[in-house]
Structure formats: structure tokens, C-alpha cells
A and B are shown apart, each in its own frame.
Chain A
């Protein structure tokens, strides 16, 4: 009964999504306010129905209702409760439902918060949002119904893929989807503007918070996914240039570009067409990511079990939305008016440079990801494009961009003074050079690249701080005035500085780990010791242990610092999940400051030893900490007062104001 209610709610949500698409659109064309008004309530009701549906599936998982095929395939009665719940989206069908849940959630948010939008724009945005929802609901119902039943019901499920039985699954996909799908709002706004044929300053102001919100979530999702892969897969890598990772990175890159170009559009009414195009491209890349993961055209750790009909269906959705929006763009873009002019050396110029670099970087990653598919389709050869390709193309593109970042926020709008800005950045540059020197001294001259990388990171961080200091007037005015000004700075200024600072932190982490990492590998027997990066690791024993749905061999290690003091214990294990007979490696990780000691067990050797791999990962946590700081920056920016206004106060209030004034 609960399961079927969920199923029915999903079907009903599909019908409602169709209405949400058609009625407001017709209303917008004919100027009928009654029809346009349908969009909001339909979006909110649609969201409520998908929530109901999702809740029903979750209940089926929690209660181990194996009469639901999806539960049977991906759950097990002995699985811990947390993984019963997260297992809902640990599979194709359930994760598509989560995707649609978040899509309708954003639709409802737009409906809720857009009361002050021009009626036609609002109707068109909700209509496009409804169309996307209808397409994906149809996809779920037609090819991946999570509510398919089995009769008679099996008594035990087949368990969830053990790699997914981790807290990471609880956080990573929802965050990632919030990001992916959040860009659908920008897309809907862009298409709505094209349908209307007009785009104004207010448009940019409405789109910016949505872009920002999606970007925050996507940043979090990618950082979380990277950390998850790092500790769960047991080989200590944090980024693999895996096609599916790229699929999430692509919308992040173009979303970051969109974030910056939207600023220009709002402030200066320039780059309108470009911003519109970026909004379309960003969501298109999100859709492409969804397609790549689910169609089975790629080999990846993330791939879902494949089914050609699903791939074809998503491809059709992809072609429809990308093709449709780009055709509309081609037809209508020329009718949009151009905005303000600016000099090449200016804030606008800097943001254009940012966009140039980011979109080119996006293009190289896209080419690297799709090239194998293309080659296989054309010649039949199977090739792989891996880290070497991306290191050679992406990294050289990003380095100059990082160097330029501190200049951007300091340049004035319209016409900037590069020399003046450079002067103000003297202190930051000096700090960065100092960092290079210290690094060269400490790493005994072998890691010149590492030293410059560290300098670059310090440059980014100091640059962000310089921006804040200058805007507050620290050094130019009295201390008390400076403090007051600092507190009074718009939140978006803090947001920018924080996000750029976070970028510096991440850069520092990446540079430190890639160039200063120490790796040791040895066959160890109980009692043996191994030294790595000043730490000594002693292998104590290996003992069996039984978890709720797995058995494992736990290797216990004790580690000492250079002085021989015992610091703590590390437990690393080889696990076997019994239901699927699938082994996993559970790395043992000890955190020292921002650095980590990472211990991974290999296979036992014939003579009673076990292969042990130990990494010293200096400052590795900074990679993700930087992501968190970037998210914080985005959030601070999102709280900026200006992003919440930009809409006229309703007339009634306006009329009431003088009365209030008189009353006081």
C-alpha cells in the first residue's frame, strides 16, 4: 500500500509536470495571467508528490520490503540502518528518483521565492523547469521504475555494493545532484529570457543566487566525492581524471565561469549573450554527466549497470534539451541588446579573461573525456585518455589563471590601472617569493616546481587578504575607522576573498601531495617496522573481526615519531562482504595536523607476511578544506543583501511607507 502510493504519486507528479510545462507557457504567449499563475502551485504540488514517492521508497528500504525489485537488488536485511537509507540512492533507479526530487525541489523554490518576478518570466521559467521534470519522470517511469514489484517476494536481498556502504554515499550524491540540478534553474531562466526575447539587469540579479547556490553544492559534492574515493578505494589517490569525475568537474568549471560573467552582466549590463550561453552550456554539461554515468558508454568506477534502452533515452533527452536550447539561442540571441563598453584592462576585462581560461579548460577536459568515445565510434580502436593528457593540457591552462586571480578583484570597473594594482600587490608577491625561498630551503632544492607551486598558493591566499585589507582601507585610515569599514564591507566582497583564499588552500594541498608525497611498500610480518617520512610504523598483528554484514582481517599498526615516541594506533583491514562475496580494502588513516599517514593492506604472501603500503601525504586535508572554504565564500556571498533585493516592493507597501513615516 505504501509502495503503491509512492508509485502512484510518481505517476501523478509526471502528469502534473506536463501541466506545469504546457499551461504557463500558453499563458505566457497569450498574456493570460490565470494560466501563468498555474506554474507556481503545480511546481510546489509536484515537489510534494515526489517527496511522497521518495519517502515511500525509503520506507520500503527501511522495512526491507523485498517485494520491491529495487530493494531486493540493493539491500539486505542485515545492513546497518544508515546504509539501508542511503542505499535508496546507491543505485540507478533510486538515484534518478533523487535527481528528480532535487529538480522538483528547485522548481518549488523558484515558485516560492519568485513572487516578485515579472509574471511572464516566472511563467516561462517554471514551464521550462516543468518540461525538464516531465522528461526525467518519463525516463524513470518508462525505463527505470524503482517501484517495480516481485511476486512472490524473495526473503533476502542481494545487498548494496560494499564500496557504497559508507557514510560518503550519504553525502556525496545528494550534494552533487543539488549542484548538477541547481544549474537547471539557470538554464530555465536563460531559455525563458530567450523565449521572451528580452534580458535585463534584474535578470542577472535573479540568476546569480541560483548559480551561486548550485555552485556551492557542486563544489561540496566534488570535494566530498574526492575525499570519499581517497579513503575508501584504498589506493590513496584523490583525483583520477576518471570520466565520471570529469563529468562533475565540467559543469563546475563552466559554472564558475557563469558565476563570474553574471557579475559583469549585473553590474555593467555587458556580456549578456555570453552569460546566457554559459547558463545553457553549464546545465548541458550536467546533463551530459548524467548521460555518461548512466548510459554505460564509459568504463569507470562509478558506472551503473548498463542498459542500452536507458542510454538511448537519456541521449534523446540530452539532444532535445541541448539542441533545443542552442537552436533557440541561435534564433534569438541577436535580438538581445548589447550592454556597456569597457577597456581591456578593467574588472570586466579580468572577468572576461577568467571566462576565457575557464571555458578553454572546460573544453580540454571535455575533449579528453569524449575523445575515446569518438575514436571508438569512428575507427573502432579503444583508447584511454588518462592523467598524462590532463596534466599536459589542463594544468598549463589553469596556472596562468591562478596567477591572475589576485588582480581581478582589485581592478576598477570600466577602466583599470594595472600598474597601480601591481603596486598594491607588492606585499603579497613578496610573501609568495618568501614562501618559495623557504620551500626551496626545506626541500633541499630538488623540488623547484613544488616550491613554485607553494609560492603560487601563498600568492593566492595573500592576494585574497590584500583585497580585503585594501577595501577596508587598512593602513590608509585610522585603525578604528578601518575596523568599522571592514565590518561594513558588502558580504559579496568577503565571499570573493574567501573563495579565492580557499582556492589557494586547495592549490597548496594539491602541490604538497603531488610533489612531496612519500610512498613505501614492503612485505611485513608481525613485529616488523617500516619507516616513512620520519615516522616508524610497527606491524603488531593481524586478527579476524566480524562486522554486521562482513568479515575482515584487521591489521593493527603502532606508529612512532622520529624521536621514537609512540603516537598512536592505525587499523587497516581487508574486508569481505559476504552477501556479494566482494572484498574491499579499508585503509587505515592517521591524521597529523593537515597531513595524513595512510596505510593500506595488500595480499598475504606465501611465507606468512602481508604486503603493506604506506603513504605520507603532507597537507592532503587542505585539498578538501579549501573546497569547504570556497563553499563558505559562496555562502557568504549568497547572504549578501543585494542578492535578495532587486525586485520592486509591492505597490501596497510603497503606498504605506509615507504613512509609517508620518506615524513615527
Chain B
């Protein structure tokens, strides 16, 4: 039996779809750890990124911190945390938070910094207070880049949440670890591992699609680059001058040319 047909058979087997070790339960665990890590990461990174972007002070710290966090090996960090505080949800989520913070921090910071300075000047000149400038102008304009950071963080966290299984937690990583350890037969071993990899990839793609939809709904249509995305003829750019009369068909010239 080839790997492909055995993987199909694995997915077709109802045993793998029920109970605490079934696919639905593992997906929920995976999403739970990942969501927790993203939530904590966002609560830490987004306000800091927005504030640093708004004040313009400490930008080099943000960039340096993000790069430093990116360079940490996540599995090593998880093992270190487990050794320090013992096995538990905290070291698992903390290791994932470290992964989620850099793209969120960079996205929030760059989003605010990239807001047109003339727009910010106008906002302040019209009498917005600093928090109004940040929340009503800079934040909405930062959303495209902030969403870019979020999507990148989600992908990385979803892929890496598998390490939870390494320290005895659930999630889709279980199929990788258990398949590797428990199955003696090489076909059975790689079948379960492949199934786990496919599930993680599918979850990542699904979440990416959901986030793209949320982004479309949340980001103002005015921030979409002109010419991109679905547009109706009514969306066409207005012109200062009326349409050139030369483009209108002239009845007297119709049919004159042979």
C-alpha cells in the first residue's frame, strides 16, 4: 500500500474522527493554544506598536526587539521554559507568543508610520486630540499593514503550535509525535505524520481565507489601491475636466470614409 492510499484510508477511517484523540478534538486544541497565544501576543504587541508609531519615539527598539525575537529557536525556547516552570499551558503559550509578537509589532508600528504625514497634520490641525488622531486616523490607516502582520503571525503560530505535543499537550502536533513514536511499521508511521501535516496546512489555509475576508470587511474601501480588487464602473475616478468631446462619435463622419 502506498503512502497516498494509506493516508486516504486514514482519513476515511471513522475511528480518527471521534473521541478525545480524533481530528475534531485535536483541531480544537490546536486552535485553542494558537488563539490564546495570538490574543496575548496582540495585547502586548499592538498597543506598543501603535504608540511607538504615533510618537515616533523608540522605533529602533521596536525593530531591534522584533528581530531579536524572530531569531529565537522556538522548540529550544519551549524546552527551556518547561525546564524553568515545569510542564503546563503557560510555557506552551509563552513560546508561541514570542512567535506572534514580531509580525504584529512590526505591522502595527509600520502601519502607523506609513500613514501620510499630511493626513495626520490635517487631523491635528482640525482639532483632534492625540488619542483621536491615533484611534480615528492612524489606526484605520494602519489596518492593511496590521492585518499583514496578523496573517503572518497566524500562519507561523498555526504551524508551530505542533510543538505543544512535544511536551505532552494536544493539538495537531500529536499526529506527528505519536505517529513518529508509536507506530513501528514505517507505512503506518508516515501515514499518521502525513495526515497531521495535511491537517495543519489545511487549517492554516482556512484561517488565511477567513482573515482575508475579515480584512476586506474591516479595512476601509478608500484604502484599497486604485485599480485593484473588484470595482464597478461607478467607481471610476472622476476627472477635473469634462470628457473630451473628440471621443464622442461624430455623426457626420460616420460612413464618409470608404
Real binding pair: no
